[in-house]
Structures are given as C-alpha cells and as structure tokens.
Amino acid sequence: MAELIAPAVQEHSPNPHLLAKLVALGDTVPVAASEDVYSATGVKLVSKGSRIDEKLQERLLQHKLRKPLERCMAVDAEPPPLGQLACSLLDQVPGLRGLLGPGAIALLDELSAQIRQGPAATLQLALLQHEGPHPLAHAALKAGIAIELCLRKGCSVEDIRLTGLATLLQDVGELYIDPQLLNPRRPLSPEEWRHVLVHPVLGGRVVRELGELPERVARAIEEHHERCNGCGFPRGLQGDAISFAGKVASISHMLVSLALQQGASLPRIGLALRIIAGEYEPALVALILQEISIAAQPDEAQALPAQLAEDTHRLLHRIGEIVLLLHHCEDVAGTREMRQLVAETSRQFQIIQRAFSSTGLDLEVCDALLLGDAAPVALAQEIRGILDELNWRLRELGMRTALRCAQLSASEQQVLGELCQLLGWSQAREG
C-alpha cells in the first residue's frame, strides 16, 4: 500500500481539535501554562500559570507558536492506576485474563509512575481519560497485554517499558482529529477516511515534539496499524521493516479492538489471528493462541443453517467476479499510477483469496455439508466467523483502494470505483 502522509501542517500551529479538548478538560481539572507561551515572532501570548479558557483558545488559534502548545501546558491531576483500569475490563472479556498476569499489571502501574514525571505525557493521558470511560481503559488493557507478551518473549526491562509506553499512547493522534470523523455511525468520504487513517503518523509526530520519550516509542506508535504482510497502514511496511515494539502494539490493538469494540467472541479472535498467515508476528500469535481456546466444545450435531450455504456461495461468486474485474482493470490500466494501484490491490486480494481457499469452503465436499449434513453447532459458528472475517477484509481492501484513487483520472476512478464497490466498500465506517 502506498504511504499515507499526514496533511501538511504549520509546525507549532495549535491544533484546533486538541485545543478545544484542552479547554473542555480545563472545565473539570486545572489546566494551566507551565511556562510563558510565545508566538513564533517572540510575542508573549500567555503568562506562566494562566488557566486555559475559551478566550485564551481564540487568541492562541491566531498565532503560530515557538513551541508545541502541549509542551507549555500542564494538568493538575494524576492519571488513575493503569493496572486497575486494565483489570476493570476483564469481566467483559474473561478469556483475555490469561494475557494480563500479575507481573504485567505491576509493570503497568510502574508506567503510571514514570509518566507522572513527564507533564506532557501526563496531559495526553488526562485528555484520553476525559474523552470518556473507554479510551484510557482500552489503552491500559492494550499496554498490559503488550507488556505480558514482552515478558513471555523474555524481552529486556527497557524494551518492555518502551513497548508498554508506545502501546499505551498509540492512539493519541486521534486527539488531533475532528471528533466528528471518529463517530462510528457517521459515513466517511475517502478524504475523511484519509484524515482518520493518518492518526498513527500524527501520534508519532506528537511524541517526538513533546521530547519526553525515546524515538523508539514514536516509531512503534506510527507502526501500530502495520501488518507483517504489508497490508497495513499508513506506510504498508512488511516484515522486519516493522519494529518488534510495533508488532506487539499492532497485535495488542487488534485483540482489544475485536474483543471490546466489536464484541467478537474468543473463537472469532482466534480465527482472526489464524485466517491470514503472516499478518502478525508468528511467535506472538502462538503465545496468544495458547491462552485463547479456539476448539469447539462437544455439542449435539444438527443440520447447518441453509443461510450459511447461501452466504458461502455468494462470497465464492463475488470472489470470482472480483478476479474478472481485476483482470479487466489490468487490461485498461494506461498509466503507471493505475498499474501500480491495480497490482497492489491484486496482491492483497490474492492473500484474502488464498485464506478463503485454505478454509475449504470453496470445495464441493463442503457444499454437501452445508446443504444439510449433520455437524456440530460449533462448526456453524466457525463458518459464520470465517465469512464475516473475509467479508470485512474485502471491505477494508476496498476502502484502501478507494483512498488511493484520487491520483487517477476520472475514467480510471470510474473503473476502480466499480472494483471498490464489488469489494464491499461504501462511504461508511467498517468497524
């Protein structure tokens, strides 16, 4: 996938969305300037100790600043114990309890103490907490799982600490995005999706500008949506081009997002880890699958629902149509840009196609089973999970392809628009 670059911004220009969140946070806890704030031209705009409010917000938005605003502000509040926050979510997903041991919880609480020594990072956590009951708790659980995985891999204390910090702060870039674009019910245009999908780049940039944490933390934040097979974003990195901390942050993010935000069952999580080989670091996948039971419990056999047969055949037919349309796109691609885009889309589609074939659902023997043979109920759940997962992967590929169409001519966009629709992409948020 071509690299998605964050929109060009003026260095040290106050971000209006973050500034609005700072004002809102200041209504609940003291948020004040930790030093004098100067414009880029040397004019003092804010005196040390001044509380942030709407009047100050308007003034700051009119100027470029000498330093990032976040480095000049401090919140008079301590973040809650991160270990306690992470554990509070385990009742919702008890199957993940084995991935958050006592050692990881203790190290997570140590992170809390370390973060309190950095006023800028403390402010970021306070902003996450103010976003509602979920963002900071989710971040804490992701960080706890990341720490547990590092412990089991025998990582050094420093590697564990930095990976935990990166995973904890991986979504701070979302604080700088228009909150309307983060509404899961709002349909998004390709350009709006582009703003959302660059949040890893924004997060890495913020951590660098704050100057409190090592470069490795910023890099892992930028990588937390990358995939080892090159199908992630924002840069489409592959294999060892992704740092180990980035790989841990990526799989921890996937686990918590599926379990808590999408309500996925443990078998579905296990399926998501297994269905496309090489998507995540194999050693990490193996560690997680040791804790998540993906084997069906013995139950009574019954005929599988006819709807599963219909949905399976529908997906098989759709995959065949996508193959034909991809061939057509290759034939009509007249520019280098379109040929590159079609080639990359085809490469990623073939990964999904191979995953479908590996399940056996495109075989005649499976047709007989789906059309009425008795089978364990758990098999129906497995098949439904496979269909849902593959359909989601196709929609995600359609969205990524649609994002890159802006560089093409109108006629090329029309051809690829048909492909994106067949892949299942529409102007809506896809989980």
**Among 75, 92, 111, residue at a domain's last position:** 75
Question: What's the CA gap between 298 and 82, in Å, rounded?
Answer: 38
DSSP 100: S
Which residues lie below 8 Å from residue 93, measured CB to CB, with a gap of 6+? 259, 260, 266
Identify whether residues 376 and 266 lie together within a single domain: no
- Cα torsion 142, 148, 153, 159: sign: positive
Domain-located, residue 182: yes
- The verdict on residue 112 lying in a domain is no
Residues 311 and 418 in one domain: yes
- Tell me: do 366 and 389 sit in the same domain: yes
Q: Which residues contact 199 (CB under 8 A, 6 or more apart)?
A: 171, 173, 174, 176, 177
Residue 161: how many other CB atoms lie within 10 Å = 19
Instruction: Note whether 111 and 101 are within 8 A (CB).
Output: no
> Are residues 286 and 258 part of one domain?
yes
Please give the pLDDT value at position 117. 87
What the block records as the tokens of 41 is 């031209």
Domain hosting 403: range is 304-423
Do 137 and 274 have their domain in common?
yes
Which among 281, 163, 280, 257 has a CA at the least distance from the CA of 218?
A: 163
Does the residue 123 lie in any domain?
A: no
Helix (H) or strand (E) holding 74: strand 73-75
- Are residues 169 and 286 located together in one domain of the fold? yes
Instruction: Give domain status of residue 119, yes or no.
Output: no
Q: In the prediction, which pLDDT does 369 show?
A: 52
Q: What are the pLDDT tens digits along the chain (431 aa)?
A: 444 444 443 468 999 999 999 999 999 999 999 999 999 999 999 999 999 999 999 999 999 999 999 999 999 988 888 999 999 998 888 778 889 999 999 999 999 888 888 899 999 999 999 987 789 999 999 999 999 999 999 999 999 999 999 999 999 999 999 999 998 888 888 888 888 999 999 999 999 999 999 999 999 999 999 999 999 999 999 999 999 999 999 999 999 998 886 677 777 788 888 888 899 999 999 999 888 754 334 445 455 566 777 888 889 899 999 999 999 999 999 899 999 999 999 999 999 999 988 887 766 545 555 555 545 556 677 788 889 889 999 999 999 999 888 888 888 999 899 999 999 987 544 44
Distance CA 342, CA 407 (A): 13
Ramachandran sector of residue 242 (left: φ over 0; alpha: ψ -120 to 50; beta: rest): beta
Q: How far apart are CA 420 and CA 414, in angstroms?
A: 10
Transcribe 317-340 into DSSP letters: HHHHHHHHHHHHHHHH--SHHHHH
Q: Would residue 94 count as lying in a domain?
A: no
Q: Please choose, from the candidates 131, 139, 130, 14, the residue with its C-alpha nearest in 3D space to the C-alpha of residue 70.
A: 14
CATH code (residue 149): 1.10.3210.10
Q: Where are the alpha helices (DSSP H) in 169-274?
A: 190-197, 199-210, 215-223, 244-256, 266-274
Give the pair of three-digit tokens for residue 159: 């590697």
Residue 308's pLDDT is 77
Boundary residue ending a domain (261, 291, 321): 291
The last residue of a domain, from among 50, 75, 100: 75
Question: Both 231 and 255 in a single domain?
Answer: yes
Please name the residue that has the structure tokens 């969140």: 21
Residue position matching structure tokens 């994106």? 420
Q: What's phi and psi for 404, nearest 5 deg?
A: -90, -5
In a domain, 11, yes or no: no
Name the helix (H) or strand (E) containing 169: none
Find tokens 């909150």 and name the residue.
179
Closest CA to 163 of 289, 281, 252: 252
Specify the number of domains making up the chain: 3
Output the pTM of the full model: 0.85
- Identify whether residues 195 and 279 lie together within a single domain: yes
Q: How far apart are CA 425 and CA 430, in angstroms?
A: 8
